[in-house]
Structure 1
Amino acid sequence: MTVTSETEVFVGVPDTSEGWTDRAREVSNILAADALARDRAGEPPFREVQLLKDSGLVTLLGPIEFGGGGQRWETAYKVVREIARADGSIGQLLGYHYLWAWAARLVGTDPQISAVEELYTSNRFFFGGAVNPRDTDLTVVDRGDTLVFNGVKSFSTGGRVTDLTVLEGIIDGTATHVFAIVPTAQDGIVFRGDWDNLGQRLTDSGSVEVNDVEVDWASAAGFVDKEFQPLVYNTLNFPAIEIVFANFYLGIARGALDTAAEYTRTRTRPWPYGGDNREIATDEWYLREGYGDLQSKLWAAEAFVDQVSREADAVLHDARENLTEQARGDLAVRIAAAKLRAADVSLEISNKIFELTGARATSNDVGLDIYWRNIRTHTLHDPLAYKRREVGSRFLTGEIPEPTWYT
């Protein structure tokens, strides 16, 4: 069954971490069947998101009392990696969904957290966010009991396939930032449908216009009586999404390496002019050496990212008041290093596999290019050089990153 046919029927909701990763593997296998065709069609991934909803994966982090999985981030990272193995775009969408579903915990008050988690979990709603920091902020006007958002964002991942959208802007006449979660389906949110990029083609990450979107002050995340209640925990937004990046990069890399290896086993021909001729390609010494090199690098990157994922999990699930600036900075550096390893290894694998599969593997019907296109596109999200600098600064001088939109 492919994702473009009738929806798969999933029985029950898993109640263990292992059960959720098994469920993710089921979904991944469905997505893998026609991932290349869907990528080339470039249609908004409504069916794919419905598959995530039907499988229950969208509620993995949601409270059990509202029908969610009650799982931890460590499981969510594994699930994102498994989905990205089959379809990098959908892995990214699910990872972003988890981050935005956690946004209330990052900056909200206790009543806001409860309300948002009940809303999205009980309805299996899917999140997106119009929060691109490189753009001019949305303008937010205080009208007494409500706030009104206006402006344009050049990227809004998930766009048309989401149920809820996170907005962020600056209150007019102040330097105060404010987040709010709003229903996506409303006249004031207009997606332009202009995402037409090299890779991650099904993330529907195009631009969005926000026109007079009104929000009650009670929904302004983290505000009490129009005053924001700051915590160091509020600044975890970017580190939390960067470790998601590392995991779906490794998922794409795993998909690339496994797909290439299967091609080599079944279709690559041995080279007949090397003076050490072999009957089958898998007996070629240079192919064994090449795959051995890539597999060992991927195993090493997976082990490191797993360790940092556990560190992030421990911080994200700890009491919010416990996080210090030093602990936050140390985690941010570790996440930067994990992202670097994942990006570098994934770029190497998605490029090197062509040398190991042979000239005929460049045929469009094979589709190995999807992995490189996806990795190359998203690893440009923010400059890797700055991640290296953060790690180097911590190592040489003990300096930790100052919290910004990108650190």
Structure 2
Amino acid sequence: MSFDPAAHLPDDLLARIRSRAAAVDAENVFPEEDLADLRAAGYLAILVPTELGGAGLGLREASVLQQRLAGAAPATALAINMHLVWTGVAKVMSDRGDDALRFLQEGAARGEVFAFGISEAGNDLVLFGSDTDAAPQPDGSYAFTGTKIFTSLAPVWTHLGLHGLDASDPDDPRLVFGFVPRSDAVVTRDDWDTLGMRGTQSRTTELHGAVAPADRIVRKLPVGPSPDPLVFGIFSAFEILLASVYTGIARRALDLAVETARARTSKKTGRSYSQDPDIRWRVADMALAYDALPVQVETLAADVDGLVDHGAMWFPKLSAIKHRAAATAKQVVDEAMLVAGGSSFFTRNELSRLYRDVLAGLFHPSDPESVHGALANAWLGPLEP
């Protein structure tokens, strides 16, 4: 059966979301109405199996939808992305015979919102270490104390997926992954006042002994890199869906550049700027840069869905696609600004917002240093001692 993106993100829904994006950015608020519309459309459960009440899509289809959503409202797409990452992790794991996150799939089908609480200030180990304390409790639950940053969906999440370090056994410290509900032990700072992606409301989250029940503790892993399916699930869903958002931004910038070139008229020649050789060259360059992204993202997402085994190449491939999408999207938006001319410098211009929003791609893992290190190791071998 062919996949119809409009069946999950209808044109009229996208139009409503697009119409609200500028105000969300200007007012620095969470897009509550977007979330309500997407929840009503079943979008929170697109990656949940049909037998559990979801749409039964794979990462390949979700990637297409996120590109489509990002073209309408990048911040809404990036915020929802973090919920979709967790449902993507659940799918990756269940596809490989591990149903540890079935509760999450059932919750997403009910409309619950799962946020991503991994990032910590100064923690460049990311998934492989944590400065958050995970204290074991007698009933098997864990109490988490620490600070998480860039917690998208901060005003609306119902469950926060996070990790922390259980150092109760100094000889065998463990990274504990679990889910905490909202409670008085979780404090969300109102500190999201950023250059772009303002609608994500990715605020700082303080954990003061926030308890994840025993049945919401999904892994206790050794510190450091791990081949565990949870880690692979997080990395694959995170990088592919992030790449999808920035690919969608690149497409929207290209479309706006084309529209603007056709609408502007040169005083010098009296002809449309779409007939200007320099503008045509610039738009062609944008198209060349963008054109490779959707195919590459689709191929890698399909490989995850299809259980393809890339072995040690998975990390370089996944980190590279996110880096390539973010860097290319920035390049395309830069060029679109030049095609549009001085009008794009005004905040009322959509390109002005895209110009700011696309910069967020620079700050998501994997950073350029780790991407280049991974690819150098893959092609040249590790550094000699």
Q: Which TM-score band applies after superposition, normalised by the shorter structure?
A: 0.7 to 0.9
Q: Find 2:9's aligned residue among 9, 19, 24.
A: 24
Q: How high is the TM-score relative to the length of structure 1?
A: 0.82
Superposed, 1:311-330 pairs within 5 Å as: 311-315=303-307, 327-330=310-313
How many Å separate the matches in 1 of 2:215 and 2:286?
51
Match for 1:205 among 202, 212, 225? 202
Q: Residue 385 of structure 1: which of 347, 352, 369 is its match?
A: 369
C-alpha distance in 1 between matches for 2:99 and 2:283: 52
The reply to whether residue 290 of structure 1 matches residue 282 of structure 2 is yes
Aligned to 2:147: 152
Are 2:338 and 1:355 equivalent residues in the alignment?
Answer: yes
* Residue among 67, 71, 86 paired with 1:81: 67
Per-residue CA distance 1:326-375 (angstroms, 9 max, x = gap): x3421221222222321222111111112111223323322311112111
Closer/same/farther in 2, CA of residues 143 and 31 from structure 1, 3 Å limit: same
Asked whether the equivalents of residues 278 and 284 of structure 1 are also in contact (C-alpha less than 8 Å), the reply is no
**1:35-57 alpha-carbon deviations (Å, 9 max, x no partner):** 12221111122222112101111
Structure 1 unaligned segments of length 5 or more: list them: 1-15, 225-229, 401-407
CA separation of 1:302/1:65 partners in 2, compared to 1, >3 Å: closer, same or farther?
Answer: closer
Which residue among 10, 17, 20 is the counterpart of 1:34? 20
In 1, distance between residues paired with 2:374 and 2:145?
34
User: Aligned to 2:133, which of 139, 146, 149?
Assistant: 139
Assess if the C-alpha contact under 8 Å between 1:137 and 1:168 holds in 2.
no
- Check whether the contact 2:63–2:297 (CA below 8 A) recurs between aligned residues: no
The runs of 4+ residues in structure 1 deviating greater than 6 Å are 106-109
Query: Residue 177 of structure 1 corresponds to which residue in structure 2?
Result: 175
Output one character per residue of 1:260-293: Cα deviation in whole Å (capped at 9) or x when no partner.
3222222x23151xxxx24222221211221112
Please give the residue correspondences for 1:8-23 in structure 2 after superposition, counting only pairs within 5 Å: 18-23=3-8
Q: Does 1:232 align with 2:217?
A: no
**Aligned equivalents of 2:6 and 2:59: distance in 1?**
12
Q: How many residues align?
A: 363
TM-score (normalizing by structure 2): 0.86
What's the CA shift for 1:111? 5.7
Q: Show CA shifts across 1:309-328 (max 9, x none).
A: 2223323xx7xxxx6xxx34
2:379 maps to what in 1? Answer: 395
Letter in 2 for 1:95: N
C-alpha RMSD over aligned residues: 2.5
CA distance in 1, matches of 2:44, 2:375: 33
Distance in 2 (alpha carbons) for counterparts of 1:96 and 1:157: 7
Q: Distance in 2 between matches of 1:21 and 1:190?
A: 38
Give the Å deviation of 1:306: 2.1
Gaps of 5+ in 2: 124-129
> What is the distance in 2 between the residues matched to 1:216 and 1:244?
28
Cα gap change, 1:103 to 1:137, in 2 (>3 Å): farther
Q: 1:212 Cα shift?
A: 2.3
Aligned-pair identity (%): 21
Which deviates more from structure 2 when the two are superposed, residues 27-36 or residues 158-167?
27-36
List aligned pairs for 1:240-259, cutoff 5 A: 240-259=237-256
State the Cα distance separating 1:258 from its structure 2 match: 1.1
Provide the C-alpha distance between the structure 1 equivalents of 2:215 and 2:87, rounded to a whole number of angstroms. 18
Paired with 2:7 and 2:202, the residues of 1 have a C-alpha distance of 28
Separation in 1 of the partners of 2:26 and 2:314? 38
Contact 1:45 1:161 in 2 (8 A): no
The CA deviation at 1:132 is: 0.9
Say if 1:28 and 1:385 are closer, same or farther in 2 by CA, change over 3 A.
Answer: farther
User: Structure 1 CA distance, aligned partners of 2:296 and 2:98?
Assistant: 34
**Post-superposition offset of 1:103:** 4.0
